[in-house]
Structure 1
Amino acid sequence: MDLKLTDRVAVITGPAKGMGAVVTKAFAAEGCKLVLIGRDVAAIEPVAAEVRASGRPAIVVPCDLTVPAQCDIAAKAALEAFGRIDILVNIAGGSGPIGKTGAQTTPDEFDEIVTLNMNGCFHTMHAVLPAMAEQRYGKIVNVGGTFGLRGRAGRMAYSASKWGLRGITKSFALEVGQHNINVNYVAPGMVDGPRFRDKVCADMAKKLGITLEEAMQRHAADYALRRVTTDSDVANACLFLASDVSRQLTGVDMPVDGGWAML
């Protein structure tokens, strides 16, 4: 199926590594023009260079997502470079304190993760929506997590931030639908990669006295499909929601978790 994304202008946050880099390259492969934004420009540049080497245009704009003025500047840079903004994919975010109960979480820890995971997405949406409304076209995809669909002991701050992002997503979807703008939420489950293997599985293996492979299998057993999500699974969901194939979907929560959060 042709998603008809060729020459669409996509602003992507958090494109430097892991899931963000895979999503970025997936949008480039579909023919998008890319605006890659984040604080660590040096980390983003290699991804941008790879995109350019594939024949697709990409610019890198320094931006602290927690600073509204910098998000406005990034949106202006996108418009100056490409004349329009068709897609916003918010991937950048943090994990917050891990393994701490709500009572153990400090106010500073709570504020930090909520500010990044909620305010950051709000600021970028606020920055690009005027251009989308004027052209009467836009696709916004906020990447959250399944702990924003189900509570999680030991992850209160992160879970709260992702529940909040769902509320932002749904309210904006109601408000901007009249301008032909879709706003949706992708919720990855546990995603395979260095952090999953070296941190999550390693911690389980140590606690239970099992091998790393056994720990991975235990995690996979939690899901209906008995497999852990990959970065490419998340990228495909983002592409779908950023395309006109999903033209009639807005305000939805799309778990990409192999069957856990909704079952």
Structure 2
Amino acid sequence: MDLMLNKKIIAITGPSKGMGDAITRAFAVEGARLALLARDIEAVSVLEKELRDQGIDVVLVACDITKSDQCEQAVARIRETFGDVPDVLVNVAGGSGPVGKSGADTTFEEFEEIVRLNMSGCFNTMRAVMPGMMARRSGKIVNVGGTFGMRGKAGRMAYSASKWGLRGITKSMALEAGPYNININIVAPGMVDGQRFRTKVCPDMAARLGISEEEAAQRHAEDYALQRISTAQDIADACLFMASDRSRQITGADLPVDGGWAAL
């Protein structure tokens, strides 16, 4: 299926780690022009060079998404480079916040930090691209949320709150942007197989329950209807769909990519 993303301008935050890397590469395969927004540009420079060597039209833009002025400057840089504002904004950048802490034990500083990154960061980038998309009367925004923003999670209150808040931003702005032919949606990953899952989540469960790490991975998989853990490519494929015109009649939606946990 042709997703018609060739030569589209795709701005991606958090482009180089885990899901971000998979999402970036997925859009590169589609022939998109890529604007990679990152606070630590050195960490993304290797990926940028690799993509450039493959013939991908890519620009690396320094941007701390928690700073509204930097987001506006980043969009201006993209317009200068590619001649227009992004056709698609994919908000991947985010954090996990305190893990295993109750709400009562979470400090205000910890709560504020993750809300500022996961909520305010996405708001800043959306606010920066919206005027240009509205003037052009077209655009797609894909926010990467999380299933803990669809169901509560003990010990993850701050993270859960930040992703619930992102849903509110997404749905409200989808209503406002709809008359301008702009779609705004959330892709919500569940547990994703990757470095953190294999080096942190599984070892912690294995140590706590006295089982092997492979048994721990299987126990996690058994939580889901499909009995398997999502991969970063699963998340990337969902982002491609939501960024394409194949999803032209979908807006304000939550798409959980979790093997059947949040929605069942």
| TM-score bin, normalised by smaller chain | over 0.9
Counterpart mapping for 1:165-180 below 5 A: 165-180=166-181
What 5-or-longer segments of structure 1 have no aligned partner?
A: none
Q: Give 1:139's aligned residue.
A: 140
Question: Which shows bigger deviation, 248-257 or 40-49?
Answer: 40-49
- Across the aligned residues of Structure 1 and Structure 2, the Cα RMSD in angstroms comes to 0.5
Equivalent in the alignment of 1:197: 198
**TM-score with structure 2 setting the length:** 0.99
Distance in 1 between residues matched to 2:168 and 2:241, nearest whole Å: 21
- Is residue 23 of structure 2 the alignment partner of residue 23 of structure 1? yes
CA distance in 2, matches of 1:139, 1:159: 25
SS in 2 for 1:44: helix
Q: Distance in 1 between matches of 2:207 and 2:230?
A: 23
Q: Where do residues 77-96 of structure 1 align in structure 2 (5 Å cutoff)?
A: 77-84=77-84, 85-96=86-97
* Matching of residues 104-143 of structure 1 within 5 Å: 104-143=105-144
- Identify the residue that residue 257 of structure 2 maps to in structure 1: 256
Q: Which amino acid aligns with 1:131?
A: G
What are structure 2's unaligned runs of at least 5 residues?
Answer: none
- Aligned to 1:60, what secondary structure does the other structure show? strand
Shift of 1:259: 0.3
Larger CA deviation: 48-57 vs 125-134: 48-57
User: Bigger CA drift: 52-61 or 252-261?
Assistant: 52-61
Q: Which runs of 4+ in 1 moved over 4 A?
A: none
Amino acid at match of 2:115: V
Partner SS state of residue 10, structure 1:
strand
What TM-score comes out, normalization by structure 1 length? 0.99
Residue in 2 aligned with 1:47? 47
CA deviations over 1:37-89 (Å, ceiling 9, x no partner): 01110011111112112211110111111100000000000001111210000
Matched letter for residue 33 of structure 2: K
Cα deviation digits, residues 216-253 of structure 1 (max 9, x gap): 00000000000000000000000000000000000000
Counterpart Cα distance in 2 of 1:100 and 1:138: 39
* Aligned position for 1:70: 70
1:10 to partner: Cα distance:
0.4
Distance 2:49 2:143 in 1: 25
The amino acid across from 1:30 in the alignment is: E
Q: Tell me, in whole angstroms, the C-alpha distance in 2 between the residues paired with 1:17 and 1:62.
A: 16
The one-letter amino acid of 1:55's match is: G
Alignment of 1:226-245 (within 5 A): 226-245=227-246
Task: Tell me the secondary structure at the aligned position of residue 193 of structure 2.
Answer: coil
Q: Secondary structure at the match of 2:256?
A: strand
> 2:36 aligns to what SS in structure 1?
strand
